[in-house]
Structure 1
Amino acid sequence: MIKKVFSIQYSVFKKLRTALVLRVQTAAYRLPSTNSRTKRGFTLLIAVLTASVLLAVGFAIYNIVSKELVFSSTGRESQFAFYAADSGIECALYWDKQGAFATSSSLTSLQCADRITQGTLERESLSSGGENYYQTTFLLWMEGVQSGSCAQVEVRKFASNRTEVRSFGYNTCVTSNPRRLERGIRAQY
C-alpha cells in the first residue's frame, strides 16, 4: 500500500512539474536555442557595428589630415605675403633716401627690382591726431613669384620731419580670394 501511495504521489508530482516547466518556458522565459538564425543575426549586428566604428575613425582621420594640409599651405602663403611686404618697404626706404617722397619734389614713377611700380603714385595731404602729413601710396607687383603676390606701400612725411613707411604684403592680389593673407611691416624714423 505504501508503494502504491508513493507511486501515485510520484506520478502526480511528475505531471505537475512538467506542466509547471512548460508554463514557465512559454510565459516568462525561453530557453536558449541552438538555432543558427539567431547566431547569424548577432554576427550581422557585430559586423555592422565594427564597420560603422571603422568608418567613423577613417572619416575623423581624413578630416584632421585635410585641415593640416590647409594649415601648412597657409604658412607657405603667409611667407609670400611677408616677402612682398618686405620688398615693398625696402623699395620705399631706398626711394625715400633718394628724395623721391620729399614734399617739394614732383612724383615720378618708381622702379624696384628692375620693375616699375604699378598703379598710380598718389600724394595727398592728411591730418592725424592734430599732426599734418603728406602720404604717398603705390602698389608693387611681385612678378616672377608663383603666387602673384603684391605690396601696397604708404609713405607718410610728417611736418615734424618724421617719416613713417607702411608696407602691406599680400599673397595674392585678387581681393575676392578667400585665402588672401596680409602681412604688414612698419618703419618709423
Structure 2
Amino acid sequence: MDYSYNYNIQRKTSNNENSSKKICCESQMPFPPIEVSRCNVNYANLLYNAYAASGGSELQAITQYIYHHETIFNKEVSETLLCIAIVEMKHLDALAGLIVKLGAKPAFFNSNRSWFSTGELVYGDNVYKEECPPSSKDNLCIKLKADIAGEKAAIRGYKDIMSEIYDPKVNAVIEKIISDEKVHVKILKGFLEKYCGNDRH
C-alpha cells in the first residue's frame, strides 16, 4: 500500500486570486511497509485499542475530526482538520493491515471486544440543537483543546503498546504513526495560540 499523499487547499489571497497552499499534516518519516515478523494474535489484540476503541483510537479520532471540520467556521482550521483526518485514516488502514497479518480480523472493537461507539467523542457542541442556517458559536477553542488532548493520549497509548510488542516491523509502523501525531499536536497548538489567546489553557 502506498501511503504517499498530498493534500492541497485553495485559499484566497489579498488580491482575491486563488493560490494553492500545501498543508503538511504528517511527518517527513517515510511510511514503512505494513509487514510483521510472524503471526502473533496477542500483538493483534494489543493493537485493537489504538485501532477502534471508543476513546483514544484512530477510528475515534477520524470521526471527531470530521465533526469538527464540518462545524468550525474558520476555514483554515476546518480544512486542516480534514487533512489531519485523512492522515488518521491512513493510520487506521495501516493498523488494519497489521491486525490481519498478525492473524486477527480488523473488526471495529477494542481489546476487550467492546464495539466502537461514538459516545466518547468530544463534539464540543449541543448536538441536538438544530439551526438552519447554522449560526451558533463554533466553540473553536473547546474543540482544539479536545483534539490536542486526544493526540497526546494517542501518543501515550502507542508508546504503551510498543513496550509490549517485540516485533521491529510492527513497531516501525507505530513509530511512524507517533511521529505523525506529534505533527498534529504542533499544528493544533499553533491554532490554539493564534485564535484562542487567553483561552489557550
TM-score by length of structure 2 reads 0.21
Q: Which structure dedicates a bigger proportion of its chain to helix?
A: 2
Q: Which has the higher contact order (CA 8 A, sep 6+)?
A: 2
Q: Which structure dedicates a bigger proportion of its chain to strand?
A: 1
Rg larger for: 1
TM-score by length of structure 1 reads 0.22
